[in-house]
């Protein structure tokens, strides 16, 4: 029995039903099919450009999330129970930002999808899709604990704050230690909020003050490290960005740990700002060019990685 199954009794994998949420909650077409490696993904599935068009997050935050996800930093999208559909939509959209060469395995809260995976699969696998709610989910203990061994994960969770995330993952069904909690990566807090906006502003669909979805806080949980002398270094989490209710804009704080982020991503500290700006500009060009569907966005992201940007990225600069 592989490490992913050890101590678990798992049923055969079943097809997951993705909720139809964007039409009602985020203002996009409904998503009807589960996400995975299939090239026939439904065009109505949520995409990162769809989130940007609706201002769920802004370009610099999306670009930084893209860089971190490509570097195999885990991504966890959290919200209160009432905003379950919103966190799932954001999670699904951000999945395509992860490194394309990884084998993607969709799992659910019962652990279906983990069958047959072993410790040797850790470095080449991205686990996608578990939503950890308040109900006990012992089947998810193994993948969450595997984060400290370098496993990739894009997940969602019922939690309103980073402190809630810690508390949930410390519970007996998951039971992460304080050291293991340092490997949970990028935590995005999603919330529905009422935004009126100033006169003439490009407000969300619906009447002024109607609920819209925003990433209200982005946290980077710093992994456990050791100094040159071998001493354990435990640094607290850092805030990367927050949403400003008064202006409906995002405040960037990632500059405070730019050197750390660059090291985690694998680039020089001086190159981080340029790379974030370059990717944010490309994403903005895709939004302006009307690139919204998941297949289109996946093709455009792959083109960027290969140095062949989409011709529909309106006004975006080259990739060099």
CA 87/CA 135 separation, integer angstroms: 17
Residue with tokens 């519970």: 171
More confident residue, 227 or 168: 168
Predicted confidence at residue 232, as pLDDT, reads 73
More confident residue, 58 or 24: 58
CA 163/CA 103 separation, integer angstroms: 31
More confident residue, 220 or 38: 220
CA 303/CA 185 separation, integer angstroms: 26
pLDDT at 225 over 90: no
pLDDT at 44 over 50: no
Work out the pLDDT band at 198, boundaries 50, 70, 90: low
Q: Quick check: 180 and 199 in contact, CB under 8 A?
A: no
More confident residue, 300 or 230: 300
For the stretch 255-264, pLDDT in tens is 999 999 999 9
149-163, 224-238, 286-300, range with the lowest pLDDT: 224-238
Mean pLDDT of the chain: 81
Predicted confidence at residue 196, as pLDDT, reads 66
What structural domains and CATH numbers belong to the chain? 25-305 (3.40.50.300)
Sequence length of the chain is 320
Q: Name the pTM for this structure.
A: 0.82
CA 157/CA 165 separation, integer angstroms: 8
Residue with tokens 């909690």: 181
**DSSP secondary structure, the chain, as one string:** --TTTTT---PPP-PPPPP--IIIIISSPPP-S--SS-TT--TTS--HHHHHHTTSS-HHHHHHHHHHHHTT--EEEEE-GGGHHHHHHHHHHHHTTS-TTSEEEE--TT-TT-TT--GGGGGGEEEEEEEE-SS--GGGHHHHHGGGGT-EEEEEEE-SSHHHHHHHHHSTTT---HHHHTT--EEEEEEEEE----TT--PPSSSTT-EEEEEEEEEE-PPPEE-TT--EE----EEEEEEETTTTEEEE-GGGGHHHHHHHHTS-GGGHHHHHHHHHHHHHHHHHTT--SHHHHHHHHHHHHTT---TTSTTPPP--
Work out the pLDDT band at 121, boundaries 50, 70, 90: confident
For the stretch 241-253, pLDDT in tens is 999 999 999 999 9
More confident residue, 309 or 223: 223
- Rounded to whole angstroms, what are the CA distances from 22 to 40, 47, 49, 54, 174? 19, 10, 13, 11, 30
pLDDT at 146 over 90: no
More confident residue, 106 or 208: 106
Closest CA relative to residue 15, chosen from 45, 40, 35, 37: 35
4-8, 15-19, 74-78, 275-279, range with the lowest pLDDT: 15-19
Q: Is the dihedral of CA 126, 129, 132, 135 positive or negative?
A: negative
- Cα Dmax for the chain: 61
Predicted confidence at residue 34, as pLDDT, reads 36
Q: Give the tokens for residue 115.
A: 């069958």
CA 79/CA 223 separation, integer angstroms: 23
pLDDT at 142 over 90: no
Q: Is the dihedral of CA 71, 269, 244, 246 positive or negative?
A: negative
For the stretch 60-118, pLDDT in tens is 999 999 999 999 999 999 999 999 999 999 999 999 999 888 888 899 888 888 887 77
pLDDT at 269 over 70: yes
Work out the pLDDT band at 5, boundaries 50, 70, 90: very low
The percent of residues above 90 in pLDDT, for the chain, comes to 58
CA 84/CA 104 separation, integer angstroms: 23
Q: Give the tokens for residue 157.
A: 């969770």
* Contact partners, residue 86, CB within 8 Å, separation at least 6: 21, 25, 26, 79, 190, 191, 192, 213
């Amino acid at each position: 029995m592989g490490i992913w199954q050890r101590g678990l009794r798992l049923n055969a994998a079943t097809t997951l039903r993705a909720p139809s949420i964007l039409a009602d909650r985020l203002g996009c077409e409904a998503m009807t099919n589960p996400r995975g490696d299939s090239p026939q993904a439904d065009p109505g599935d949520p995409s990162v450009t769809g989130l940007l068009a609706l201002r769920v997050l802004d370009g610099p935050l999306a670009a930084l999330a893209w860089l971190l996800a490509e570097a195999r930093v885990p991504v966890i999208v959290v919200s209160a129970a009432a905003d379950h559909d919103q966190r799932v939509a954001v999670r699904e959209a951000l999945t395509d930002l992860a490194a394309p060469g990884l084998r993607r395995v969709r799992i659910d809260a019962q652990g279906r999808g983990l069958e047959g995976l072993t410790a040797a699969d850790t470095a080449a696998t991205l686990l996608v899709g578990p939503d950890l709610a308040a109900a006990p989910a012992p089947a998810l203990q193994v993948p969450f604990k595997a984060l400290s061994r370098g496993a990739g994960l894009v997940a969602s969770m019922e939690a309103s704050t980073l402190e809630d995330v810690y508390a949930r993952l410390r519970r007996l069904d998951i039971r992460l230690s304080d050291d293991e909690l340092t490997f949970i990566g990028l935590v995005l807090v999603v919330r529905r909020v009422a935004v009126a906006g100033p006169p003439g502003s490009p407000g969300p669909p619906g009447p002024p003050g109607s609920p819209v979805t925003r990433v209200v806080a982005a946290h980077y949980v710093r992994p456990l490290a050791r100094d040159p002398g071998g001493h354990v270094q435990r640094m607290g989490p850092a805030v990367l960005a927050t949403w400003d209710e008064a202006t409906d804009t995002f405040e960037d704080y990632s500059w405070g740990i730019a050197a750390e982020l660059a090291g985690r991503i694998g680039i020089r500290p001086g190159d981080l700002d340029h790379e974030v700006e370059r990717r944010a500009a490309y994403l903005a060009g895709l939004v302006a060019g009307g690139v919204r569907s998941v297949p289109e966005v996946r093709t455009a992201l792959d083109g960027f990685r290969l140095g062949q940007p989409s011709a529909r990225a309106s006004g975006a600069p080259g990739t060099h």
